[in-house]
Structure 1
């Protein structure tokens, strides 16, 4: 049975805590509505451990700003369209390059190889940022480079996120040309590999784009769960074999999720 709440004590707590406590409680209300879909004042008050009058007071403010609305038929409350207005302004203001920078630098420092950030543009993977490892061999600047989707680790991550029809349009436009003798140029073979990429959450290439270069990449998601970019680590084949380096792939996938969280992603 829920503890009985004294409304006067609850009001005193509000006064002592000031506006910060009211903001925190208003956010709690919206989190409850987001989780439940809809809920009544009594139900919300019981879950929060506050008096109904507190919830009613906060609900009035949220309704006036269209962050919450009341279902006229059932009397319960739901999140309102004001939430959508606020949310829609976020993605355009977030820069994946900005949000990824610190994570990329940490990876480059830890694994001492080159870390790239790539996005899908005009049927190619475009490298939009790069963090260099301390190795003297990691000197190539990939920023701005257009790289083929089917022959790069970032490209395969981006391809795996597309529908079959979208991939068909890409392949029809640019084909599957061989960059090296190791490039996969068979559509069926590539499609099987992309299924593994989608399942495992990473893609690796061994000298498929350039002889002597290996790489591994993981996806970055936005607030809707769509793949918007890929983060990769690459290095010379003679010393860089990502599958054989303990913890590297897990660290890369975790880096992708860390950046994704900064972009509003809430899944795992």
Structure 2
């Protein structure tokens, strides 16, 4: 390679890194914005972002045509990013899941002694769904809570749940039963709660994992028990599992073996 080709290659790398820096700072930016900041022609930026996109380092926002950092950055960093958080990444997938199932989809994270609901999308079958966003709900009485507990140590679970409060006749109140339920969730890759928090409410949840493979959130589909019976759960479950796996992938998690 000649010196001129070598210089051009170094310049391209420098510009590509500058693009990542711009997106890291701005959150998202269009080709014109990037070209103006770099002082280059838009065609040059198109080539740069195309290469970066091919390696998942950037991605294009379908609604606005702007670019933002991609999951490749997360995989290299081995950690989540403030700009690519679980709510942002899960939102479009949760919306699709609510559309395909017709039921309410919730996203929850572990918050000390409870599960915190951070997002919700109502499906077409949900006439007036309860808004769970911002609410803390019991870990042992919900499908999301069970998923979030499932890979914690028994000592950690006990510390977070000094008492297993009963909310309905079917709420788990035995340590041994909870231990068995969490083991089942680990084995199956999902958790179920039928009439455990409220009579007439059924939910099934699956874990969302980060680049380290750790459970960082839980995605659930919920609705009235009369509508989400065993046969219906069998229909919803593969859609839920695929959605949770997709969000995990966007957070840098490796694809399931």
TM-score > 0.5 by shorter chain: yes
Instruction: Report the equivalent of 1:162.
Output: 152
Instruction: Report the equivalent of 1:60.
Output: none
**Does 1:142 pair with 2:125?**
no
Contact conserved, 1:113 with 1:138, CA < 8 A, in 2? no
1:227 aligned to which of 215, 221, 224: 215
Instruction: Report the equivalent of 2:98.
Output: 108
For structure 2, the residue ranges without an aligned partner over 5 or more in a row are 14-72
State the SS of the aligned residue for 2:155: helix
Alignment of 1:153-232 (within 5 A): 153-172=143-162, 175-232=163-220
TM-score by length of 1: 0.66
Contact conserved, 1:154 with 1:217, CA < 8 A, in 2? yes
State the SS of the aligned residue for 2:167: coil
For structure 1, the residue ranges without an aligned partner over 5 or more in a row are 1-10, 24-82
Instruction: Report the equivalent of 1:77.
Output: none
Q: How big is each residue's C-alpha offset from its partner over 1:15-68, in whole Å with a ceiling of 9 and x where there is no partner?
A: 6xx859x97xxxxxxxxxxxxxxxxxxxxxxxxxxxxxxxxxxxxxxxxxxxxx
TM-score by length of 2: 0.69
RMSD: 2.5
**Relative to 1, partners in 2 of residues 1:91 and 1:182: Cα closer, same or farther, differing over 3 Å?**
same
State the SS of the aligned residue for 1:93: coil
**Does 1:127 pair with 2:139?**
no
State the SS of the aligned residue for 1:224: coil
- Corresponding pairs, count: 192
**Relative to 1, partners in 2 of residues 1:205 and 1:136: Cα closer, same or farther, differing over 3 Å?**
closer
Q: How big is each residue's C-alpha offset from its partner over 1:119-176, in whole Å with a ceiling of 9 and x where there is no partner?
A: 000210110000001124342111011110000000000010211111111122xx10
Q: Which has the larger radius of gyration?
A: 1
In 1, the alpha carbon distance for the partners of 2:230 and 2:245 equals 18
Q: Greater relative contact order (Cα 8 A, min sep 6): structure 1 or 2?
A: 2
**Does 1:151 pair with 2:147?**
no
In 2, the alpha carbon distance for the partners of 1:223 and 1:154 equals 20
Contact conserved, 1:242 with 1:248, CA < 8 A, in 2? no
Tell me by how many angstroms 1:244 deviates. 3.9
Instruction: Report the equivalent of 1:117.
Output: 107
In 1, the alpha carbon distance for the partners of 2:226 and 2:239 equals 21
In 1, the alpha carbon distance for the partners of 2:147 and 2:247 equals 15
Tell me by how many angstroms 1:93 deviates. 3.3
Contact conserved, 1:220 with 1:259, CA < 8 A, in 2? yes
**Relative to 1, partners in 2 of residues 1:192 and 1:127: Cα closer, same or farther, differing over 3 Å?**
same
**Does 1:92 pair with 2:107?**
no
In 2, the alpha carbon distance for the partners of 1:262 and 1:245 equals 25
